[in-house]
Each structure stands twice: as C-alpha cells, then as structure tokens.
Amino acid sequence: MGLLSILRKLKSAPDQEVRILLLGLDNAGKTTLLKQLASEDISHITPTQGFNIKSVQSQGFKLNVWDIGGQRKIRPYWKNYFENTDILELAELLEEEKLSCVPVLIFANKQDLLTAAPASEIAEGLNLHTIRDRVWQIQSCSALTGEGVQDGMNWVCKNVNAKKK
Amino acid sequence: MKHFLRMLIQVCLYFYCKFLWRCLKFVMRKLTGRCELQRICYNTKPGASRTMKIETSLRDSKSKLLQTSVSVHPDAIEKTIEDIMELKKINPDVNPQLGISLQACLLQIVGYRNLIADVEKLRREPYDSDNPQHEEMLLKLWKFLKPNTPLESRISKQWCEIGFQGDDPKTDFRGMGLLGLYNLQYFAERDATAAQQVLSDSLHPKCSKFSKAEWEKKRMDKAIGYSFAIVGINITDLAYNLLVSGALKTHFYNIAPEAPTLSHFQQTFCYLMHEFHKFWIEEDPMDIMEFNRVREKFRKRIIKQLQNPDMALCPHFAASEGLINM
C-alpha cells in the first residue's frame, strides 16, 4: 500500500460537513462551549458581537459550529443562519419552517454551579416531551469543565445520519 | 528520516549562526573598543528602536547578570546598572551618558513587564456585585456616559442604552473582569465628550448619510449600530492581547519616558476605541454580524502600524494631553 493509494482513499471519502447552530440567551455560555469544543483557552471570553465560527473534526464529520450572539438586539439576525442547518440547539425555534425536521440538542449548561437546574427539570419546563416531528436530546453539561460536551457531540454525529437519509 | 535530517540541519544552522554572531561581536568589540550595549546606545536614537535592541541584547547575553537584569525590581535598577558597567569594564566617568541611557531603557523594559502583571491582576478579578467599590464604579460609568438621565434602578433595561446586553451588566464583564470596567470608566470620565460622541454615534452611526425620512425607514429594518459597552469590552480584549504579545512595546517605549503605567494602558484603550469607531464607519459594514470581521481587520492594521519602530499610537485627544514627550 503506497502513499498514493492512501491519498486516493482520503479523497474518495471526504469528510461530511455538518452545520451546527448554537443559539441561546446572552451569558448562557455559547462561546465557552464553542471554545471548549475546539480545545481553546476559555479564560478570556468576551460577550459576542455578531458571531464566531469554528470547525471541529469529530468521528469522520467536519462540524462547522456557528455561535451567534444571544443579546436581544442580535436575535432578529438568527433567522439569516437557518438555511442548511443540520443540528439545532435551542427549543423556541421549532416553529420555524426552514428548520423543520432538524434534530435539536439542548445543552443544560452550567451544571458545575450548585444552583443549576437539573436536565430533567429543564426538559419538563420546555415541554420537550411534546416534540413529535424531530429527534431531540437534552444533555446536561458544563462548558467550563468540559463535562458532557463531548457526549452531546457524539449524539450530534449519530443523529446527523438519521436526518440526511 | 527526511524530516529528522532537516531538523538536524536547522539545529546546526542555528548554532552556527549563533557562533558567527558571537565572533562578530568579539571583533566589533576589539575594533571599536565598545561593547554591544555601548554601540547600541551610541548608534540608535532613544525610543522604541533603542530600548528594543537593548532588551534583545540583554536577554540573549551569556552573562547571568545581564539576562536577569530585564526582570529586576524597579528599585534595584541603579545597582544593576553599576554592576553591568563594572562587568563590562566601562568607566562611568569617561562615559557618563551611557549609564543614564541604559537606566532609561531598563526602566521601560522592567516597567512594561510590571504593567503586564498589573493588567493581568485586574483582568483576573471578576466583577462582584457584593463589592461596594465595584458597584460604585459601575454607577459612575452610567453617570459619565448619561449625565442627564438618572438610572432608575440598579437592575434596569436602561443598561442596554449604553450597550450592555441585558438588565444587569455584571455578567458582561466575564473574561476581562474588572479591567473592562476600569477601561470603560476611564474613557467615559477622562474623555467625556469623545466617549459620549462615540456612544451616540454607535446607536446610529450612519445617521448623517441619510435624509431623515430615509433614516427612519432604515431604522425600521434593523439597528445598524453596535453596542458601546460590549464593544468596549471586546476592545479591552484587543488591547490586552496587544500588550501581552509585546506588540505594544513600540508604542510604550516611544511615549513613556520611564516605566509605562496603568493610565498609559488606559489611554491606549481610549485611542483604540476612537480609532475603531472611525474604522467601523469607514468599513461601512452591513450590520453588527460583521463585527468580528471588522475587528480582525482592525487588529491586523494596528499590528502592522506597531511594527514600525517609530510608531506611537498617538493619542490626539483630551485624555492624553501633555503626555507625549521624548
């Protein structure tokens, strides 16, 4: 097996690209989550004006994660990013047509705080069990310590296939 | 294997160059009768170009005394200079100017390092709403920016008017900690007219370009401006990174005759806010979503400017009057 054949093999199976939208209220920890995914330093985070984007490799997928500012003023712009989105991570947007059938992952962040609500409580609060038209998952995590973040991404990789079929 | 050989060649080349450099220094010393520090002081003009050369020379020196001299306590500088003069066998009576020049350089070098430590300490201190001092500063910020509008309560939607994200600014300081608040307050207090102008422009920067009717229509579509306070915190991040990476050395070595202090840093912040605002209007972005692109372009431009050893981010407004000397 030569170098050439390896190269050819790589070329014939390009990484599948997945677009992930990360949405949420301001100070929810979206940018921290993004930096944690990209294994970057999380101690210098400033509020997001506009958006950040990072590409992460995971299980043969190229995850393009879009982190969009959560400030009320910016929320009207969210809809510009809905086109071609494969995974979504917030609940209120389920009504949006452009996003129909897009799997939803909800991160119940800041679980490192004692006062954080457990994932089950949040699921109830958001009435997640009423969602019928798409797959969804709630994942408790802490973007600060990185706990649970990878589990969430594993779920993403598994469910992207389901959506594409 | 190929990779290993290439690395080996690079290592050899490095030592070879280092050896050549040492030889050259030795020959120069014999020819001119002066050591490298003396040659730098006599041949380059004071300011960033001289101080930066001295810094490299001291750091790369093989003598322990010279290596450690860049991190001595400011009070020990005079003694260190004496030691260096003695080590280099320079007679202070024959070269009176040298000691003074060296001392000025060393003060700047040590000062810059201490400034990084001070700034880092402020950055690491999170905003604490139980601390009355922090609270007072925050309320002052409001007063300076909006002298004619009283704040109705500590937790209020009004904070959004000066560009915070929600009704309580405390979460917005995040990664920049108190440093963000210090900078914003300094800008609003010392350069009040400019700060208020930037704030009002940031709410609708394109106002002048449109007729009133057109403007009204446009504003219906979307808010074109940016959030003053949030951008301030982001520019603090920019200033902080420029400082830590050493890019601001050119600026501080050119403007601060002795050790640069926190207020020098804050003036730099004011300057950056000013310039960013101008840059934002020049760039004429579609909307706030382009912020990170514009900010990156701005950062590259500032870094390019700072590569010129004669550059000073020349503050040309009220906050820094009477500070430019040298």
Residues B17-37 have a mean pLDDT of 83
Domain-embedded: residue A5: no
Domain, as residue range, for A33: 14-160
Q: How confident is the model at residue B214 (pLDDT cuts 50, 70, 90)?
A: low
d(CA B237, CA A119): 33
d(CA A158, CA B96): 75
Q: What is the total count of domains within chain A?
A: 1
Q: Which two tokens stand for residue B214?
A: 């057109």
**What per-residue confidence (pLDDT) applies to B85?**
86
Residues B105-138 pLDDT 10s: 999 999 999 999 999 999 999 999 899 999 999 9
d(CA B159, CA B163): 7
CB atoms within 10 A of CB B115: 20
Q: A79 a known binding residue?
A: no
**What is the least distance, in Å, from the CA of A92 to any CA of chain B?**
19
* Secondary structure class of A114 (helix, strand, coil): coil
**H-assigned helices in B146-287:** 177-190, 192-203, 212-221, 228-245, 249-255, 262-283
Percent of chain A with pLDDT over 70: 75
C-alpha distances (whole Å) from B187 to each of A117, B144, B270, B271 are: 39, 9, 6, 9
A3 near B CB under 8 A:
no
**What per-residue confidence (pLDDT) applies to B223?**
47
By annotation, the residues of A acting in catalysis are 71
Residues B49-93 pLDDT 10s: 899 999 998 888 888 888 888 888 888 888 888 888 888 888 878
Of B218, B234, B215, which Cα lies nearest the Cα of B226? B234
d(CA B201, CA B269): 18
ipTM surpasses 0.85: no
User: Which chain A positions have a beta carbon within 8 Å of B172's beta carbon?
Assistant: 27, 47
Domain-embedded: residue A3: no
d(CA A153, CA B284): 37
Residue ranges per domain, chain B?
Answer: 1-32, 34-123, 129-307
**What per-residue confidence (pLDDT) applies to A49?**
85
CATH number for position A139: 3.40.50.300
Q: Which of B65-74 are b and which e, b meaning 16 or more Cβ less than 10 Å from the residue's Cβ? A: ebeebbebee
Q: How confident is the model at residue A86 (pLDDT cuts 50, 70, 90)?
A: low
Are B70 and B113 contacting, i.e. CB atoms less than 8 angstroms apart? yes
Domain-embedded: residue A165: no
User: Which chain A positions have a beta carbon within 8 Å of B174's beta carbon?
Assistant: 27, 45-47
Domain-embedded: residue A1: no
Backbone angles phi, psi at B289, to 5 degrees: -65, -15
Side-chain half-sphere CA neighbours of B301 within 13 A: 14
**What per-residue confidence (pLDDT) applies to A88?**
57
- Report the range of poorest mean pLDDT among A19-28, B17-26, B69-78: A19-28
